[in-house]
Amino acid sequence: MSTPRQLRAREVLRVLIADDQALVRGAIASLLDLEPDLEIVSQVGRGDEVLEAARSTRPDVALLDVEMPGLDGIAVARLLREQVPECRSLIVTTFGRPGYLRLALEAGALGFVVKDTPSGQLAAAVRRVAAGDTVVDPALAAESLVMGASPLSARETDVLIALRQGGTTAEVARLLRLSEGTVRNHLSAAIGKTNARNASEAARIAAENGWLLTP
């Protein structure tokens, strides 16, 4: 007699793909559609379209890019955990950054892999996430342990995000409703914490480590 686990293994898993690059989204869908036990039920190009798509198509797993318009993939993973808990999240991104990994797992994602993962491994990751397992790129997991959590405060993060978007100190101060002196103090602290030579380098280092997505 078949066990419940064996019966589950033969079921077709429903998959949602969210990526703002149409070619990448289509390529992932085509590759996964070749798997007999995986069915692509929805494809969206914006983070703020995922929740509605998940509610209407009832996927088992959502493959989420990190950087998308409307809402980033980590924020989407958090919303899915809270509002559509039967849909589990697997982050599939070009940006294999330790900070992103940590935030994704804290948001409730069960998997985090990079886009150059071979198709067979990606399909296996989808199956494992659907089963409730955690799947993380091993090299990135090791790097995340070495790097640790972001050293930046929430306000320092906000200031670097605004600066990276092209703002001057005066513009950042106006946007965040802070004095220019306070902005300079936050920038100075961020420079010290990132061992950077200046504010621009601090913003670059923070972005490369995945520290500029707000939790």
The domain total for the chain is 2
Does 215 fall in a domain? Answer: no
84 and 60 fall within a common domain:
yes
Looking up residue 203, the CATH number of its domain turns out to be 1.10.10.10
Provide the residue range defining the domain that includes 186: 154-208
95 and 197 fall within a common domain:
no
The pLDDT assigned to 140 comes to: 62
Does 167 fall in a domain? Answer: yes
The pLDDT assigned to 75 comes to: 93
Can you give the pTM of this predicted structure? Answer: 0.68
The average confidence (pLDDT) of the chain is: 86
77 and 42 fall within a common domain:
yes
Q: Of 125, 144, 163, which residue sits at a domain end?
A: 144
109 and 191 fall within a common domain:
no
12 and 118 fall within a common domain:
yes
The pLDDT assigned to 115 comes to: 87
Q: Of 144, 176, 193, which residue sits at a domain end?
A: 144
3-state secondary structure of 71: coil
Does 149 fall in a domain? Answer: no
76 and 94 fall within a common domain:
yes
Give the residue among 72, 75, 67, 14 at the shortest CA–CA distance from 43: 14
128 and 163 fall within a common domain:
no
Per-residue model confidence as pLDDT tens digits over 35-53: 999 999 999 999 999 999 9
Phi, psi dihedral angles at 212 (to 5 degrees): -105, 20
195 and 167 fall within a common domain:
yes
- For residue 152, what are the contacts with CB-CB under 8 A and spacing of at least 6? 160, 190, 193, 194, 206, 211
Looking up residue 107, the CATH number of its domain turns out to be 3.40.50.2300
Per-residue model confidence as pLDDT tens digits over 105-153: 889 999 999 888 899 999 999 999 999 999 987 666 545 544 556 788 8
DSSP string, 82-116: HH-TTSEEEEEES---HHHHHHHHHHT-SEEEETT
